[in-house]
Amino acid sequence: MIRIGIVGASGYTGVELARLLCSCPDVKLKVATSRQYKGKKLADVYPSLAGMVDIVCEDLQMEKLAERADLFFTAVPHQTAMAIVPDLLRVGKKVVDLSADFRIHDAAVYEKWYQKHTAQEYLAKAIYGLPELHRQQIAAAQLVANPGCYPTSVILGVAPLLQAGVVEPETLIVDSKSGASGAGRLAQTGTLFCEVTEGFKAYKVAAHRHTPEMEQEISALCNKSVAISFTPHLLPMSRGILSTIYATMSKSMTDDEVYELYRNFYKNEPFVRLCEPGAFPATQFVRGSNYCDLGFKFDSRTGRIVVLAAIDNLVKGAAGQAVQNMNLMCGLPETRGLLGVPLFP
């Protein structure tokens, strides 16, 4: 039995980790930290967990924490993670970090988009935790940087095209839309029900911090440094991301040929589902699941391909992918605990 700790258990990502771990027979949640709710049962914070999760939240105390679990999920904000993760690594723990702190290999890039990085010596050790691209390295890693929600959808959406060299990378435009759970559970006016419902808007236009993360992986896939346009939007719903991605094709292809390209690229992937030509993904069909559904359309009028990628931002975009990484790091079957059918309607 592998003992698990969640640092930052009371956010939406934390509770989703707790939910998913209930379906993992090989692991046991032993530690859940939450400054805000210390001493309170996690199931009292989230009554959805009642009768299934009986752990009590505790304050983070590093010295005592480490010996009580073998692998830690750190589900805390960036900047906080870089202060905690090194201590866990030093005492030999495995860590899946869900913050942004170890995703960017280049400290200078990180510092340009975020703030000063105080644990740069661990950047080289961290593996970017997208199993579809880095499975073998993840399996051998002590520290996995769990990808951001938007980047997960985007990178999976364009990887086959970039690797095959059939699109012009510098024409990439990413228009992404996310449900409100991506903003977390912080009490703030902007994500109140009445501000979000029956409304839609863009935010952080051309300025969102997930941009360099996408550019890093995209640049690696096409072996050249690429800058992309990225616009995130806030959807009046709870879960789900749909990314609509535009790129100019460098060669003409039929939709069937593109489909074949994707099918080959993802043929052994348990969590990528392809829509057949003419069909497109929808976030409601991945709700609560670890799937990434992909569709596309080549527009011969403009020479552009449009790729559509749908995930549940809390699952494949966060907690589910983290469990997938945990499975790989611990030598467990990769899909363990992650085969729940999407909840529709």
Return the residues of window 196-215 that contact a second copy according to CB under 8 A. 196-203, 205-207
**Residue 17: CA count within 13 A, CB half-sphere:** 38
Task: List Cα–Cα distances, 280 to 70, 128, 183, 189, in angstroms.
Answer: 41, 28, 26, 34
Catalytic positions are 149
- Binding to a second copy by residue 322, rule CB under 8 A? no
- Binding to a second copy by residue 136, rule CB under 8 A? no
Find the part of the chain contacting a second copy (CB under 8 A) among 98-106, 142-150, 231-239, 320-328: 231-239
Cα gap 246→174, rounded to integer Å:
6
Of the candidates 79, 137, 163, 238, which one interacts with a second copy according to CB under 8 A?
Answer: 238
Closest distance of CB 51 from a second copy, Å? 5
Cα gap 217→130, rounded to integer Å:
10
Find the part of the chain contacting a second copy (CB under 8 A) among 86-94, 102-110, 156-164, 307-315: 307-315
Of the candidates 1, 193, 267, 268, which one interacts with a second copy according to CB under 8 A?
Answer: 193
**Residue whose tokens read 């209930």:** 22
Closest distance of CB 53 from a second copy, Å? 8
Q: Is 183 exposed, middle or buried (0-12, 13-18, 19+ CB in 10 A)?
A: middle
Closest distance of CB 343 from a second copy, Å? 5
Cα gap 73→234, rounded to integer Å:
26
Return the residues of window 153-192 that contact a second copy according to CB under 8 A.
Answer: 173, 175, 177, 179-181, 185, 187-189, 191-192
Cα gap 78→57, rounded to integer Å:
21
Angle at 148 between CA 143 and CA 152, to 5 degrees: 105
- Binding to a second copy by residue 340, rule CB under 8 A? yes
CB atoms within 10 A of CB 52: 10
Question: Total number of residues binding a second copy (CB under 8 A)?
Answer: 85
**Residue whose tokens read 């990180």:** 110
Residue closer to a second copy, measured from CB, 176 or 325: 176
Of the candidates 61, 140, 194, 331, which one interacts with a second copy according to CB under 8 A?
Answer: 194
The DSSP code for 40 is S
Closest distance of CB 267 from a second copy, Å? 13
End-to-end CA distance of the chain: 35
Q: Do residues 265 and 160 touch, judged by C-beta distance below 8 A?
A: yes
**Residue 183: CA count within 13 A, CB half-sphere:** 22
Return the residues of window 13-52 that contact a second copy according to CB under 8 A.
Answer: 15, 19, 22-23, 46-52
- Binding to a second copy by residue 334, rule CB under 8 A? no
Residue closer to a second copy, measured from CB, 23 or 223: 23
- Binding to a second copy by residue 284, rule CB under 8 A? yes
Closest distance of CB 1 from a second copy, Å? 19
- Single-letter amino acid, residue 125: K
Closest distance of CB 16 from a second copy, Å? 9
Return the residues of window 67-126 that contact a second copy according to CB under 8 A.
Answer: none
Of the candidates 93, 103, 210, 287, which one interacts with a second copy according to CB under 8 A?
Answer: 287
Q: Do residues 329 and 137 touch, judged by C-beta distance below 8 A?
A: no
Residue closer to a second copy, measured from CB, 78 or 239: 239
Q: 11: which residues sit within 8 A by CB, 6+ positions away?
A: 75, 184, 185
Cα gap 31→293, rounded to integer Å:
33
Closest distance of CB 170 from a second copy, Å? 8
